[in-house]
Each structure stands twice: as C-alpha cells, then as structure tokens.
Amino acid sequence: FKAQIIRKSAIDFSYDKSSSASILHCKEKVESNIDDDHLQHELEKVMKERDSLAYQVRQDSTTWTERLSELKSIYITEIAALKKTVEDLEFDVQEKSKKCAQLKEELEFQKEEIKEKSETIQNLKTELNKYAKGVDNVLAEHRLQDEAAWNTKIAALERKLNDSKREHAKAVISMRQMERNHSRELERAQDLLQTTEEHLNKQLKQIQNELLRVEKERNLMMATLRQEGLISNLKSERGDPIKLSFGAEDQVFLLSNNNFNTCTNTEPHKLESLMQRSDKEGDNVMLEDIEKVNHKKVWHHEESHRNNQAMEDVLEDLKSLTVAIFDENDEDSSDS
C-alpha cells in the first residue's frame, strides 16, 4: 500500500513535469518575443514551485506514511477486535441458530399441541352443549315435578288446614255447648241440692221434734216405771238393745253431709237414743234419705268431674292439632 502511494505520487510528479514542459514549449512557441530574463525568471519560479511541490510531496509522503502506520495499527487492532467480535457473533449465531432450531421444534410441537387442544376444546364444547341441553331438560323436568309435588303438598296442607279449621270450629262450638250444658247441669244440680237440703232440713226438724216428743214420753214413761217399781223387772227380762252398725263408706257419707254433721255435733246423745229406741221403719227411712243425698252429691261430683275431664280432653286435642299444623307449616316453609 505504501509503495502504491509512492508510485502514485511519482506518477503525479512526472505528470506535473511533463505538463509543465508542454506548457513551456507552448509558451515558447506563442511568446517568442519574450525576452530571456523573463523566461529565466519564470523558469526559476517554476523550479521553486517544483521544489516546493516536491518538498510538499515528501512531507505528504511522510505524513501519509505516519498516518498509514497509525491507521494500520488502528485497523489491525480494530480488525482483531472485529475478528473477535465476529467469532463471538458467529458463536452467538450458532447458539442462536441451535436455539432457533430448538424453538422451531418446540413451536411445531406447541402448534401440534394447540391443534390437538383446539380439537379437544371443540369436542368438549360440543359435549358441554349437549350436557347443557340435557341438564336444562332435566332441571325443567325436576322443576315441573317439584312444582307438582309442592302443589300437591300445598293442596293437602290447605285441605288439612280447612279440616283443622272446621274441626276447631266444631270443637269450639261443642265446647261452648258443653259449657252451656255444664252450666245448666250445674244449676240444675245446685237447685236439686238446695231442694234436697231443704227437704232434709225439714225432715231433720221433724225428726228432732219427734225425738223431743219421744224423749218426753220416755222420760214420762221412765218416771212412771220408777214410781211403779217395774224398771228393774223390765231390765231383767229385756235383752241387750240392738245397735246399728255403720260401715266405713256410710261413715264417710255421714261425715260429708254438712247439715247431718251439724246435727250430730250438736246433739249426739239424742241421735244415739233415737237410733237405739226408734222403730225399724223410721230408722230405715232416715238412713235411706241420708244415702240418697250422699249418692246424689257423689253423682253430681262425678258428673261435673266427667264434664271437666271431657272439656280438658277437647282442649288438649285442640292444642295438639294446632301444634301439628304449625309444625307442618314450619316444615313447608323450611323446605321452600
């Protein structure tokens, strides 16, 4: 490269010389009348220019040589760096080409997988649409069945509710009627009890009067017998007096009669003497009346107890029916 530059500069210099010679020759031809001094002066001038040009060429050659060496060193360094870079780039290209090949293979594999997945997704979508239609149909059927079942249950519950309302109304009516009957029976029993008590009071007063009369006659008879001296003979000839025996139930009935208890509490010795010395017919009549009164009281008490028990049973049935209806309503509301 340096030799070529030198050769080029020499060629340029020779060309300059030839060109300058041709110019001079032309000038000689054209300007033949110019004097020699002027030519000499021009020649010197041209030679100076030639020397300056030669010096400049030498300077340029030196400068170019230095620059060339500098550029050569720079270019060598750059070329080495570029070679290193090229080698690195070639290595990177090889690595990237390998990676690119792998990525191409993976891309092809992924494309195949995507294609398979797309087909699978399409098949699943088709099956899903079929299942969705089937599920919709099944849900519609279940909904219709549930609606029919609930309508049936609601109708049955409405019938039960209406029946319960009717039974409740009947029970209320029967309960009111039973209350009225009970009140009427109670009034009738109270009237009968009052009438019986009045009748017994009258009989008791009659018996007390009869008892007083018999007592007076007895006292009179005893006084007469004592005066006659026959009391000792009568006691020796007469046996033991007959005493009436009362059972536990008769004693309870006698104790339950307030008027009779009052009489027995006030005058027990008179009643004892009456029972021992009155005739059998009077005693039987009195005992029968007492038993009738006590039986009537017991009957009225049992009747009122039965009526109360019947009313309590009716109320318990109504309560249980109401609780059952409320439980069914709660179950229906919870199911809905």
- The residue among 222 and 177 whose pLDDT is bigger is 177
Residue 264 is predicted with a pLDDT of 42
**Amino acid letter, 57:** V
Which pLDDT does position 307 carry in this prediction?
A: 57
Last-in-domain residue among 64, 88, 106: 106
Residue 222 belongs to what domain range?
159-236+246-335
CB 20 within 8 A of CB 87: no
Give the residue-averaged pLDDT of 105-119: 88
Report whether pLDDT(178) > 70.
yes
91 and 173 part of one domain: no
Residue-averaged pLDDT of the chain: 71
Give the end of a domain, one of 65, 89, 106. Answer: 106
Is residue 226 pLDDT above 50, yes or no? yes
Using CA of residue 308, residue 310, residue 311, residue 315, what is the dihedral sign?
A: positive
Q: What is the mean pLDDT of residues 223-251?
A: 54
Residues 73, 221 share a domain: no
Pair (93, 174) in one structural domain: no
pLDDT score, position 320:
62
pTM of the model: 0.27
Q: Are the C-beta atoms of 257 and 290 separated by less than 8 Å?
A: yes
- For residues 94 and 166, state if they share a domain: no
Percent residues over pLDDT 90 in the chain: 1
Is 319 within the bounds of a domain? Answer: yes
Backbone angles phi, psi at 152, to 5 degrees: -65, -45
Tell whether the model's pLDDT for residue 60 goes beyond 60.
yes
Query: Measuring CA to CA, which residue among 14, 27, 82 is closest to residue 53?
Result: 14
Residue 256 is encoded by which pair of tokens?
């339950």
Query: How would residue 66 be classed by pLDDT, with cut points 50, 70 and 90?
Result: confident
Q: What is the DSSP letter of 242?
A: P
Query: Phi/psi of residue 245, each to 5°?
Result: -105, 130
pLDDT tens sequence across 257-302: 444 444 444 444 443 444 444 444 444 544 455 555 456 555 655 6
Residues with Cβ within 8 Å of 318's Cβ and at least 6 positions away in sequence, in order, are 168, 171
Q: Are 336 and 164 in contact (CB under 8 A)?
A: no
Let me know whether 71 and 202 are in one domain.
no
Calculate mean pLDDT across residues 51-57.
Answer: 83
